[in-house]
Every structure is written in structure tokens, then in C-alpha cells.
Amino acid sequence: MTKYLLLAVIFSFNIYFETTSAKETDPIEFIDEPLEEGIILPDWFKVSFLDLEEDLNEALNDGKRGLIVYFGQKLCPYCKAHMENNWGNKDILAYTLKHFDVIAIDVRGQKQVTDFDGSEYTEKQYSVKAKTSFTPSVMFYTKEGLSLTLRGYRPPYQFQAALEYVADQHYKREAFADYLARAEAAFSYGKETLNDNAQFNRGPYILDRSHFAAKRPLL
């Protein structure tokens, strides 16, 4: 009986572990096969006639920093990852809504897009012109014009850096690659080494407790 109870406990634990692990998501690793069901755009996206100059002016008049043009397609797994991991993050969403209006262009769509110079294209034609057929792509427009283009899926910390890069007008002073390099350094700080702190700088240390009895906790 004890043996059967033990096997039942182990079996239950394995089910729990596998179920819990399956619920965990990684913003960088995900299934990249085409989706079976199309993506439904968030209802907070701005309803637009895709007149880009008009949309930008409305955003600026509302006190926002500018306009984000999102290029995607319905069955794109990377677009889904962007929606879930970036704009699905409440902090990133709140920051986006505070500083930008967002409109969507379907890279396979046939709706009319009016560019800033008045030229008219279908969504598909404009996506090719803007070199944003690789989805998702995001273009940031401010009163200075096109300030940043992101092609392809970016994990949350990179997308947040892009939002701040444009909202805080860093594009006036430096390239996004330089700005992002500092953000990545901050993101990785402490991942491979112990953080420096004066109270930890006195040695020597005996971290191996297999040969010496411990009088105080190691951590």
C-alpha cells in the first residue's frame, strides 16, 4: 500500500510540474509556426482611415509624442508574441497609450493608405515601400518625421527601450543602437556576477560548507 501511495504522489507531482511549466511563457522563446486562428487587434488601437499625416496631427494635438504604425498580418506568430508579451504587459501598454496613438496596417491588406506626401497605396503596396513586410514591424512618427523603425519581433525590454527612446526624444542625440546597448547592459547587470556592495567586499570567504561547520547562514 505504501508503494502504491508513493507512486500516486510521484505521478501527481509530475502532472503538476508539467502543467505549471506549460503555463510559464518566455518572451524570447515561443512556437513560431503560422497560427491557425487570425489575430484580433486590440480594441484600444485607433480607428483610422489610414491618412498618416492626419493621424499624426491628431496625436500631437492630443499632447502625445507621436504616432506608432504597426505592420502585421493575421497568422503571424511573431505578431501574436508582440501583442502578448509587449502590449500585453500593462506597464508597456500604459506607457504606449500615454505617449502615442497606434494604428495598424495589414501587410497583405487592400485598404487605401495615404502617405505624408499625399501619395496613395494599398496596405500591401505601402508595406513594401516602407520595407516592413517582415512582421511585426513598427514605425514611430513624431513632429520631426520618422524617428525610428523596428523590424521584427523584439522582447519586452527592447520594445520598452524603443518607446522611451522616441518619447524622450533620444533620437535627436544618438542612434537607437547606442541607446539600446545601454539598456541591454542594465538588463544583464548582475546576471553573471555578484553585484558590488561595500558590505560584501571583506574577505576571505569560506563558501564551501562541506569541510567546515557553519555558525551563521551563508545567505
The whole-number pLDDT of residue 128 equals: 96
b/e map 101-119, b = 16+ CB within 10 Å: bbbbbbbebeeebbeeeee
Residue with cell 561547520: 213
Q: Please tell me what DSSP assigns to residue 36.
A: S
Let me know if 133 is exposed, middle or buried by CB neighbors in 10 A (0-12, 13-18, 19+).
Answer: middle
Give the pLDDT confidence score for residue 107 in this predicted structure.
Answer: 96
DSSP 3-state of 150: strand
List the one residue out of 127, 26, 116, 141 whose CA is nearest residue 73.
127
What is the per-residue pLDDT for 10?
42
Residues of the chain short of pLDDT 50, as ranges, are 4-24
* Consecutive H or E run containing 122: strand 120-122
The amino acid present at 23, given as its one-letter code, is K
**69 DSSP β-pair partners:** 103, 139
DSSP letter string over 48-117? ---BHHHHHHHHHHTT-SEEEEEEE-TT-HHHHHHHHHTTTSHHHHHHHHHHEEEEEEETT---EEE-TT
Please tell me the predicted confidence (pLDDT) of residue 158: 93
Query: From CA 107, how far away is CA 102, in angstroms rounded?
Result: 16
Give me the sheet containing 137-142, strands edge to edge. Answer: 100-106, 66-72, 137-142, 145-151
Helix (H) or strand (E) holding 141: strand 137-142
- How many H helices and E strands in the chain? 7, 6
User: For position 195, what pLDDT does the model report?
Assistant: 58
Closest CA to 166 of 186, 146, 137, 187: 146
